[in-house]
């Protein structure tokens, strides 16, 4: 529901702010949790613009500045990684962006893997959606047989390792946790979302949310049906717990803690669900490591 409202807001803002040349040739895309339709509360800006053909540079520069400024005024902070319309890398004609995709594929390094992962979640919310479709088709085609690059993308699943502190040894010892405070995004949501993303890149099942991607992977035989259901259930647990943490952080006015939960303060039921969900994360990480031979990357 939050994602739907934000999509409409971005589409309306595009209609108001974009000069005629950009409205005619452009495709506004959202990435991150907004692109996957999994957003629960307002986040920072993760957006881009692809153009069917070149437009006057003055129009493009005016739009870049005005669009990002308006979103910031609406309460969407600028993206710390500069993944937004204001960055020329993420707002350019299709031909130029296809060249950028080629360079990322050829580089096959960590930065390229991150950029390709970000783009994999893009969804069109205004303008000519066919422009984005062409770019995604080109991405999937270029990844065919690129085992080294897929391994680099897969390696990001360990970007946020499980921390090793705390007092929950008897509760969480079997899954490696030693702490009360757990970052649901880093230790739960991200590895599930990213693992499914890399499998989807390999099998061309990028459309939709993470749960929809899981269903498509199961249908193609790329993921065991029962394990697919467990992954989806674990993701829902993390998202529900995180929403509660976000509401509590907002109520208390706490900054940068909207995905942190204190396991010791949870009910027994919630703590048991969290424990089981983290076990699924551990199993999924191992599946991805084995599939993409990450020990040698």
166-192 pLDDT, tens digit each: 334 444 444 444 457 888 889 999 999
Tell me the average pLDDT across 22-49.
87
Torsion of CA 192, 44, 181, 237, to 10 degrees: -40
Q: Which tokens is 275 given?
A: 């424990």
Where does 149-296 sit in CATH, by number?
Answer: 1.20.120
pLDDT value of residue 250: 67
182-238 pLDDT, tens digit each: 888 899 999 999 999 999 999 999 988 999 999 999 999 999 999 999 999 999 999
258-269 pLDDT, tens digit each: 678 888 888 899
User: Where along the chain do its domains lie?
Assistant: 2-144, 149-296
**Element counts in the chain: helices (H) and strands (E):** 14, 6
Sorting pLDDT into bands at 50, 70 and 90, what band is 128? Answer: very high
Topology annotation, domain 2-144 = Beta Polymerase; domain 2 (3.30.460)
> Are 48 and 94 in contact, with CB atoms under 8 Å apart?
no
3-state secondary structure of 127: strand
pLDDT value of residue 159: 85
Q: Above 90 in pLDDT, residue 153?
A: yes
Distance (Å, whole) CA 119 – CA 53: 20
In Å, how far are 64, 126, 229 from 263, measured between CA atoms?
43, 41, 24
Q: Above 60 in pLDDT, residue 1?
A: no
The region that residue 291 occupies, defined by phi over 0 for left and psi between -120 and 50 for alpha, beta otherwise, is: alpha
Q: Above 80 in pLDDT, residue 256?
A: no
Q: Above 90 in pLDDT, residue 145?
A: no
> Are 79 and 44 in contact, with CB atoms under 8 Å apart?
yes
Q: What is the pTM of this model?
A: 0.88
Stronger pLDDT, 37 or 90, i.e. the higher one: 90
């Amino acid at each position: 529901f939050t994602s739907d409202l934000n999509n409409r807001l971005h589409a309306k803002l595009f209609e108001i702010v974009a000069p005629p040349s950009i409205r005619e040739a452009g495709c506004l895309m959202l990435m991150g949790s907004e692109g996957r339709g999994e957003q629960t509360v307002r986040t920072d800006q993760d957006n881009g613009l692809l153009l069917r053909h070149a437009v006057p540079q003055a129009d493009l520069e005016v739009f870049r500045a005005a669009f990002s400024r308006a979103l910031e005024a609406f309460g969407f902070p600028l993206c710390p990684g500069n993944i937004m319309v204001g960055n020329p890398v993420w707002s350019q004609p299709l031909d130029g962006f296809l060249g950028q995709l080629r360079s990322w594929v050829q580089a096959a390094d960590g930065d390229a893997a991150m950029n390709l992962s970000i783009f994999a979640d893009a969804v069109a919310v205004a303008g000519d959606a066919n422009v984005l479709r062409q770019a995604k088709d080109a991405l999937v085609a270029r990844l065919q047989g690129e085992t080294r690059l897929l391994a680099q993308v897969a390696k990001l699943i360990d970007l946020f390792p499980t921390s090793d502190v705390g007092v929950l040894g008897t509760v969480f010892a079997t899954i490696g946790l030693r702490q009360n405070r757990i970052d649901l995004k880093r230790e739960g949501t991200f590895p599930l979302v990213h693992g499914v993303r890399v499998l989807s890149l390999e099998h061309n099942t990028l459309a939709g949310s993470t749960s929809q991607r899981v269903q498509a992977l199961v249908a193609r035989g790329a993921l065991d049906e029962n394990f697919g259901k467990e992954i989806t259930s674990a993701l829902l647990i993390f998202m529900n717990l995180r929403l509660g943490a976000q509401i509590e952080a907002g109520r208390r006015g706490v900054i940068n803690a909207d995905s942190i939960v204190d396991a010791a303060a949870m009910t027994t039921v919630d703590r048991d669900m969290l424990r089981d969900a983290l076990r699924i994360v551990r199993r999924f990480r191992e599946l991805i490591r084995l599939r993409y031979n990450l020990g040698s990357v």
